[in-house]
Amino acid sequence: MNEVSCDFNNGDLCQWSSGSSDVIEWLLESDVHNTHGVGPLADHTTGDGYFISLTPTHDRNEGVAVIVTPELTATSAQDFCLRWWYHMDGSDVESLSVHLITLKEGKETVVWTKKGFQTSWWTEAFVGIHINEAFVLEFRGSQGKNLLSNLALDDIDMKPAVCPGEDCLYFMLSSSCGPFL
């Protein structure tokens, strides 16, 4: 889906937009200037492009930062594989989650979430989505006030396909694992 895919290397959010009421925002970065030594040294796509990042500073801390897709439509029951690369570094890092919100009924489902330190390198994640109505996707990063923390995202992609089978072991949301929505 072209509306979802973004490597951030044009220096913008592609068709994603920032949540309008957010206290903090995901920032485009080419590296993380964090004196505490957490966060990516380079983007995932090419090593000299951009990614988006949340890093607490003394005057910009705490809160949830959101990016959201435009309206996405599934004309009949369709499988999508949403894939992205993330970086959750530092002992104070809080949480990253992916939310699917249906537009007709406003039903919200957390399709993926991680809390706390995960990796000091770029890590791939993917989740299968089976849906037959209009929806949006959101990435939500929760940032604490302590400085040993960085969240980063790069290379978001979504294809009309079932994810690789092993994904079912973790997410139980793909149609090949059971009904969803």
- Contact positions vs Ca ion (CB under 5 A): 7-9, 43, 45, 49, 154
Tokens of 34: 């964090």
CB of 171 to Ca ion, least distance (A): 24
CA distances to 29, 93, 118, 154 from 49, in Å: 8, 23, 23, 10
Tokens of 11: 């220096």
CB within 8 Å of 74: residues ≥ 6 apart: 80, 131, 132, 133, 134, 135
CB of 112 to Ca ion, least distance (A): 20
CB of 127 to Ca ion, least distance (A): 20
35: nearest Cα among 64, 59, 56, 60: 56
- Tell me whether residue 65 or residue 177 sits nearer to Ca ion (CB atom): 65
- Tell me whether residue 43 or residue 167 sits nearer to Ca ion (CB atom): 43
CB of 134 to Ca ion, least distance (A): 28
Please identify the residue of the shown chain whose CB is closest to the bound Ca ion. 45
- Tell me whether residue 45 or residue 109 sits nearer to Ca ion (CB atom): 45
Radius of gyration of the chain (CA): 16
- Tell me whether residue 27 or residue 148 sits nearer to Ca ion (CB atom): 27
Query: Is residue 52 a contact partner of residue 12, using CB atoms and an 8 Å limit?
Result: no
CB of 13 to Ca ion, least distance (A): 12
3-state class (DSSP) for residue 46: coil
- Tell me whether residue 9 or residue 69 sits nearer to Ca ion (CB atom): 9
Query: Is residue 139 a contact partner of residue 130, using CB atoms and an 8 Å limit?
Result: no
Query: Is residue 180 a contact partner of residue 77, using CB atoms and an 8 Å limit?
Result: no
